[in-house]
Amino acid sequence: MSLRERVKAVLYGLYARRLRAQLRTVEPPRHVGMIVDGNRRWANRQDGVSVAEGHRAGADRMLVFLNWCDEAGVKVVTLYLMSTDNVTNRNSQEITDLTEIIADLAADLAEVPDWKIHHVGDVARIPEQLADALTRVTAETADRDGLHINLAVGYGGRHEITEAVRDIIREHEVKGRGIDTLAEDITLENIAAHLYTAGQPDLDLVIRTSGEQRISDFMLWQSAHTELYFVEALGPDLREIDVLRALRDFTRRQRRFGS
């Protein structure tokens, strides 16, 4: 390591320590969402690195990211790993690679004591092997009370809301109630109770890597009042100071909720 690199590393460490100290005096967001983006671009910029290796590097970085969130006192984190659009539009080999990578990530997360893993998404829209892996880690960690991690796989916000409304209609029919009273069941509270995240706090902060500034059908209902933060770093290059800055920025914003 050159002298310049050593100096840079020291300064980075001091700055990160300062940010951590600032965050210890404030209330962190309860629920943080991460839109993982830029893995393919990262791979394309490396010599001899495949897209699959880019996705795996991004998954490895998410494990580190979750540790940073846990240390900062965040209670719930949702990782947006594979959308319904990804399943439809990506080539079959990339989906096969992602299936293995996400299953491995889920297994690694389940190895961390106290972490609770929960799949959010439509199991019918993802490969059976991956659905089984996510179902397994969800069951294995169900009784834990530490960091709650939602893995959004085969997920789409519009699809989630549509399915929630359909579930309400099905329940209405099972109860034998008529169409004339159906509108009474379509309430904000009842829709929220039928989402994948029922019982969880809404998103406080959404972070997206790679510099892209869009929500990409991510938790449209739960992000009604969320704060957005965009990081230039590609997924595998995400640094602790990027996350600490996002958390600090959140604490400095005035959340009005329409008032």
Q: 36: pLDDT confidence band, cut at 50, 70 and 90?
A: very high
118-130 pLDDT, tens digit per residue, is 999 999 999 999 9
Listed residue (118, 80, 77) closest to 98, CA to CA: 80
Give the integer Cα–Cα distance in Å for 235 and 52.
Answer: 13
Q: In what order do the strands lie in the sheet with 116-120?
A: 116-120, 148-155, 76-83, 31-35, 205-208, 227-230
The helix/strand/coil state of 118 is strand
Spell out the domains of the chain, with CATH numbers in brackets.
3-155+201-252 (3.40.1180.10)
Q: How far is CA 194 from the centre of its chain?
A: 19
What's the CA angle centered on 12, arms 11 and 13, to 5 degrees? 90
* Range 198-206 average pLDDT: 98
CB 32 within 8 A of CB 204: yes
Quote the CA–CA distance of 243 and 16 in Å, as a whole number.
10
* Contact between 2 and 47 (Cβ < 8 Å): no
Pick the catalytic residue from 39, 86, 122, 204: 86
Higher-confidence residue of 256 and 114: namely 114
Confidence band, pLDDT 50/70/90 cuts, at residue 82: very high
Residues 126-148, mean pLDDT to the nearest whole number? 97
Is 39 part of the annotated catalytic residue set?
Answer: no
154: left (phi over 0), alpha (psi -120 to 50) or beta: left
Tens of pLDDT, residue by residue over 145-179, are 999 999 999 999 999 999 999 999 999 999 898 88
Give the C-alpha separation, 168 to 186, whole Å: 7
Q: Which of 77, 80, 235, 55 is nearest to 156 (CA)?
A: 80
Concerning whether 37 is annotated as a catalytic residue, the answer is yes
Confidence class of residue 1 from pLDDT cuts 50, 70 and 90? low
